[in-house]
Amino acid sequence: MRSYWLAFPWLVGSGCAALPEQQEQQVRLTPFRQALHQEGVLRELRIDGRRYCVADLGKGPPIVLLHGLGGSLYDWRHLIRPLAKEHRVLALDLLGAGESEIPEKEDFSIAAQARRVKGLLDTLGVPRATLVGNSYGGGIALRFAQDWPERVDKLVLINSICYADNIPTYVGLAKAPCAECVAETLPLGKMTRWVLRGSYRTVEKLSDEELDTYIRELQAPGRRSAIVRIVRDVVPPDTTEFEARLKSIRSPALLLWGTSDETVPIHLGRRLLRDLPHAELVELDAGHVPNQESPDEVLRLIRRFLE
């Protein structure tokens, strides 16, 4: 099943502020998050009335890590600490993911998510940053670069959604009235595999502990129905303007593409290379989520690009 707009925040307004410190013994969603919390680098922010969870660690030029559909900041577990040796790393749960708020009604479009990313940077006083996005997160990074080019240092796009071709049938199924109820009652084992269905090479490399972590995240109340709502909003009614504006992006861009990806195939990465004026493409022996499948290689390439 192929999706070029799918795979696996940020209405800006006044009054954005960090939440008061939570009780120190708060139990987080997973052991991975508990460790970040105990290190004092897991923060909760309120942006335009919504609550967000972000890992904020390291010093230096800032990098924002944007995960794919069905994922969370956990997707970046292999890269967060190594990158934090030279950079300030902001790895966040997008709205409806991880430990961020899961609203019943909200705009989950790429444009809305990009506005929320800007709200995050405004709240934290970050004037410019490098945006690193995988899949859905890559689409958010591209839209951010279109709308606020002065806020972007560089882009790293990892099997990023970019063009509206061959939209899969499950996008239509997500619009069915019963879709959210079905998602909430679907056994988590099946739901987990559905979320990762386009990332079979990633699933093959997940340990039992890692798979259990994803299942725990999907157990959060409303999490599965939120995925359905995100699927509904991810493909805009008209992608013509978005695709045309790709050529206006002037930020240097590194495209990292798994050649075995069936969700966002390599020919789309090669097309994106032609549309972005200042881009380079590195093709990897990986599937849809190279940052989890080949993290050492991805880390090496990102460091080389940022240097």
Reported as a single tens digit per residue, the pLDDT across 179-207 is 444 455 555 555 455 555 555 566 677 88
Least confident interval from 35-44, 114-123, 171-180, 234-243: 171-180
- For 19-43, write each residue's pLDDT tens digit: 444 444 467 889 999 999 999 999 9
CATH fold of 17-306 reads Rossmann fold (3.40.50)
- pLDDT above 70 covers a percentage of the chain that reads 77
Quickly count: other Cβ atoms within 10 Å of residue 218's Cβ.
19
pTM of the model: 0.84
CA distance 96 to 302: 27
Per-residue model confidence (pLDDT) at position 108: 87
CA distance 3 to 5: 6
Mean pLDDT of the chain: 82
**Rounded mean pLDDT of 121-148?**
97
- For the chain, the structural domain boundaries read 17-306
Nearest Cα to Cα of residue 89 among 120, 50, 135, 48: 120
- pLDDT above 90 covers a percentage of the chain that reads 57
- For 79-111, write each residue's pLDDT tens digit: 999 999 999 999 999 998 999 998 888 888 899
Report the DSSP pairing between strands 253-258 and 279-284.
parallel
**Rounded mean pLDDT of 239-248?**
92
